[in-house]
Structures are given as C-alpha cells and as structure tokens.
Amino acid sequence: MLNRNKVLYIDGHEFRRLFTGGVDWLSQHVDTINNLNVFPVPDGDTGTNMLLTVQKAQSFVDKLADDHIGRMTETLATGARYGARGNSGTILSMLLRGFAQGLAACEVMDAQALSVACRHAVDYAYETVRSVMTPQEGTILTVAEAAAASVESLIQSESNLFKLLDAMIQAAGKTLEETPELLPVLKDAGVVDSGGAGLVALLEGFQQAATGEAVQASVFGTIITRQMSYSANGVAQQTTVTSPPPDDPEGYGYDVQFLMLGDDLDVAKVQADISAMGWSPLVDGDKNMIKVHIHVHNPAVPLDYAIQSGAQLDDIVVENMQRQYEAFASGSQPGHNGENPAATDDIAVIAVVRGDGLHDIFIEYGVTAIVEGGQTMNPSTGDLLAAVDALPNRRVILLPNNKNIILAARGAADISDRQITVVPTQSIPQGLAALLAFGDYKDDASWEMLTEHMHDAAASVLTLEVTKSTRRVDKLGDISIQDGDFLVLADGKASSSSADMFDAILAAFATVDLDQRELVTIYYGADVTSEQTALLIENLHAAYPQLQSEAVAGGQPLYPYVLSIE
C-alpha cells in the first residue's frame, strides 16, 4: 500500500497495479455507464467499449517485467490502441498514448512528470480527434482536460502524487457534472457524459488501488446517484462484478471471442455460465446473437459450452495471450502489417454489418469482407485490423456504418502499414450507397476521387432508424419519449416517438423534405415480418403516393426498421 503522505514517485509496476484497480472499478460500473446514453436506444455501449479497451491494454502488460514507467505505459497504450472500441474507448486509447509519450523517457513518474504526461495526453487526444472531426466539449475530452489542468495548477505547491490524483478526480468529477451544461443533448437526455463518467471511474479505481481501501465517498457514485434523482428514469443497475485476471502460475491463458447465433438465446444464463469459466468476461447480445469474450486457460471450455447449448458459432477468435505478449515484447506485432504472399493491388472494401439479409446485400454489391457488428456491438480497432490482415489487399477502404465505430476504424487505418481510408459512413444505407459508388468508380478514379465519390454517395442518403426506447426522456430535442416508445432517429438525430411504431415512422417522414426524393428502401429487422412491412408500405403509400417503396429483409436485431430515403 502506498502511504498517502509520502508518494513522491511511482514506477512501472506500481502504475500497472493502479491501472488494474482502475480496470476493476470501471468493470463494476459498466452497466451504469452503458445506461448513460443520450438516445434511449440500443446503441454503442460506452461502458462496455471503454472496459474492453482498457482490458486489452491490461492484457499487454500482465507479465511485463519492467519497472520503467515509460515502457510500461507505452505497452499499455499499445494494447489500448488494439482494443480501442467506440468513440470513448478510442479517445481513451489516445489519452493513454499521449500520456505514455509524455513519460517516454521517465523511469519513474513524479509530480512534474505526471503534470507533463497529463498535458501531453490531453493535447495529443484533442489533436488526434481534431484531425478527423471537430472535438466536442462536454465529453471525455473536457473531463480529461479538467483533470490535467488541476494537476498543472497544483504542481508548484504539491508534490504528493496521491493528493494530485485526488485533485484530478475531484476536478474530473466536477466537470463531469457540468457536461450537461456544455452539451445540450446531454441535458435534454438528463444524463452526464458516459465517456467522461468512465474516465472518472477509471481514475477512482486508481485511487482505490493506491490506498487499498474501498472509496468512502465515491465521486462517481455520488454523481450517478444525484443524476438519477433528476433524470426522469435513471436505470443504474449494479453490474456483475468481473474478477480481475489471476496471478496464476498457469500463465496468461487465452483470449476467446465468438458469436453465438440462435433463435431464443438466454443472455442472462450465458452471461452467468461464461463468467464462471474465467476472467475478464464480457457477454453481450440478444436472443438472436450473443457476443462472448472471456479469458480462460482452456479455450475448449467456453466453446464446448456454446456448442452444447445448441447455438451456432461464428467469428471464433482464440488468441494465445502469452504468445501475443511475447511477440509484442520482441518487437513484432502478431498478425498485423504482415504482407500476404499473394498481396494484390486490388482495392478491398470491409464493412461493419449485422444481420443476415444485410450481409447478403453487402456481398451482392461487392464488399470484400464483413466485420460483424453495429449497434451495441462495436468492433474494436483490433477486430478491424484482423479483418484487414486476413485479406491480401494492399489498399483497403473501411465502411464503419455507425458513428460509434468511425474512430476505431480510423485507429486501424493509423496502425496498419497498408493504405487504409475510412469512408465515415454512419448507417447501413450510407454504407450501401458508398459501396455502390465504389463499384462504379474503382476502375477509373484515383484513390482520392474514389473515396470522395463514396463520401458524396453516402451523403446523398437520408437514414431513418427505428427502435424501441429503453427509458423515458422528457425532452430530447423537440420530442419527449416514454419508456417503451418507438423512437425514430433521422440521420442520427431524434426525430419522433410514439407508442405506435407506424405513427412514429410517419411522424418522422412528416419532418423530412421530400422534394427530390423518390425512393424509400425499408430494411426490415429480425423481429418483424414481411407482412408487417407490407402494411407499413401501404401506410407510407397512402400518405406519400409519389414515393416508391421497396422492402428488403435486413435481419438486423434491435432495430425493426432501417429506412433510407433517396
């Protein structure tokens, strides 16, 4: 344990211990953070994404025998880059990278080094985000900036790292509470920023590990409790506590990931059963598909379990974490940047897609490979890199098809040695439009023109996404939402809601400028039938006789309908 009066510096080992405490504390609040979503819909889960990001970071340093804090944080940051998932997870990985760069030359970290590293972390993250989009205030970036500023303001008078960490947590917490004032969508939704909350939880976990005591007055907990009192319908739930990785003579074991496919899967049961098999479990999904992630000593155990449950398995990935670490330590990354002997100059397109029907459509229109994922299942930078590496193509275009996957995709583009461009598609219809443009221009246009055409094609499509609200929100933009309402997002913005799905969709159409629009394509999900869809088309046709409609079986979960208006 650290003596809180006297912590003037820490080394790499100690940092790892604190980081582990942070991961553990974050893991205990995953569901709470997941529920801090702006739109009360099943979308990218920030808590899950951040946890997977830091768990990957942790797996890279599990057995790193190095006291050097510069090398320790660099290794952590590298792991985080591979694990980066979702916007907040990806920004967190940037913060870690910048932090590590700030410590590169340091054997140990004192107050001065902490201050420099924090500043570098925040500047690096802002700069990197800025290179692809305008950074938003009221997010994890703002919270990180407050934490860094607090260290800088105290550095002249305070050299005790513990006190500085405490100041960081207080400042981060204060700013987290202010995020709804900075970002109106948060205020409307009655939530604080989820990514910022994850950062506070992570820092607070550092503190717990440092003192060895349970946090008495958790800043995170206080904010969440306060938030629940004013949020219309706070839904913080206590999560299953995940166990930390073992200090085990058997070594690292294996990282096992797979998808279970079925008709009536029991998520809660799979969650409980899988979690009992190992450490760092993450089980997420619905009755048609469950994504399983677990670290175990014997990968056969979870795989056998899943097969015997009667589910179909797909996308099975088993990684030997020992070898991964060794490869990393010896300077050669496993499984990336490797030039395939049959390397080709043809351009590949990789799209993130979920749903059988949507798979078929993307394949029909020429996608080279598909990474399973989308709403609620955001693939990581590492997942996308693995898909790139599996192809022989030197040039690859990534279609994330979801706003929460774009940054992870950019991360993959940064890491890979291949020429990768991310066309930042935010929905399935946008992705398809870009894919069609790819087919039209790939033989004639330069790389820049090609991706620009794809970009333009994506921009020409209006997307409506229909889903069921997971909680009540009194004011989200111009609408109010009851728990269980159908909510329609128009190009990602809340457009309408109603207890009746068709009413919600027609209300959303009423807000759309339909001049110059002639075709509605309806991708219907796994939970609706073609008969229901025919009824929807009848309704649309009655209201908008000038529009043509086309129904396509998308098979996506959670979103009964995704519509494009062109």
Partner 1 sequence: MTRIKIIVDSVADIPLSMRQKWDIGLIPTYVNYGGNSYADDGIELDRTAFYNAMPDMGEFPTTSAPSPALAEDILRQSLDGYDHIVAIHVPERYSSTINVTRLAAQEIAPDRITVIDGHSLTAGLGLLGLMAAEKAAETDDVQQIVSLVERVRDQITIYAAIATMTYMQRSGRVNNVVAAVGSILQIKPLLRVQQGDIDVLHRIRTFGRAVDKVRELAHEHTPLERLMVLHIQNEDGANQLKSDLEPLLPQDIPIMEVGPTLGSFIGPGSLGVLVLPQVK
C-alpha to C-alpha distance for 98 and 106, rounded to whole angstroms? 14
Instruction: Output 232 or 363, the one with its CB closest to partner 1.
Output: 363
Instruction: Output 147 or 432, the one with its CB closest to partner 1.
Output: 432
Contact 328, 334 (CB under 8 A): yes
346 binds partner 1 (CB under 8 A): no
Among 3, 153, 460, 530, interactor with partner 1 by CB under 8 A: 460
DSSP-assigned letters across all residues of 229-288: HHSTT----PPPPPPPPP--TT-S-EEEEEEEE-SS--HHHHHHHHHTTSEEEEEEE-SS
436 binds partner 1 (CB under 8 A): yes
Among 140, 384, 433, 526, interactor with partner 1 by CB under 8 A: 433
Among 156, 238, 330, 516, interactor with partner 1 by CB under 8 A: 516
C-alpha to C-alpha distance for 120 and 113, rounded to whole angstroms? 10
Instruction: Output 33 or 433, the one with its CB closest to partner 1.
Output: 433
C-alpha to C-alpha distance for 319 and 557, rounded to whole angstroms? 28
Judge residue 442's burial from the number of C-beta atoms within 10 Å of its C-beta, 0-12 exposed, 13-18 middle, 19 or more buried: middle
Residue showing tokens 């809601």: 497
Q: Region of 285 please: left (phi>0), alpha (psi -120 to 50) or beta.
A: left
Binding range to partner 1, per CB under 8 A, among 6-14, 104-112, 216-224, 428-436 = 428-436
Instruction: Output 455 or 475, the one with its CB closest to partner 1.
Output: 455
Among 440, 483, 491, 527, interactor with partner 1 by CB under 8 A: 440
Could you list the beta-strand ranges (E) of 329-386: 344-353, 369-372
Instruction: Output 360 or 503, the one with its CB closest to partner 1.
Output: 360
Helical H segments across 416-529, by residue range: 428-441, 447-459, 501-510
Minimum distance of partner 1 from residue 424's CB (angstroms)? 20
456 binds partner 1 (CB under 8 A): no
Minimum distance of partner 1 from residue 431's CB (angstroms)? 13
**147's tokens:** 């934490």
236 binds partner 1 (CB under 8 A): no
C-alpha to C-alpha distance for 375 and 403, rounded to whole angstroms? 10
Minimum distance of partner 1 from residue 438's CB (angstroms)? 10
What part of residues 347-386 is at the interface with partner 1 (CB under 8 A)? 360-361, 364-365
Query: Pattern 518-537, binding to partner 1, x per CB under 8 A?
Result: xx-x----------------
Among 439, 459, 493, 511, interactor with partner 1 by CB under 8 A: 439
Residues that bind partner 1 (CB under 8 A): 360-361, 364-365, 432-433, 436, 439-440, 460, 516-519, 521, 548, 550, 552, 564, 566
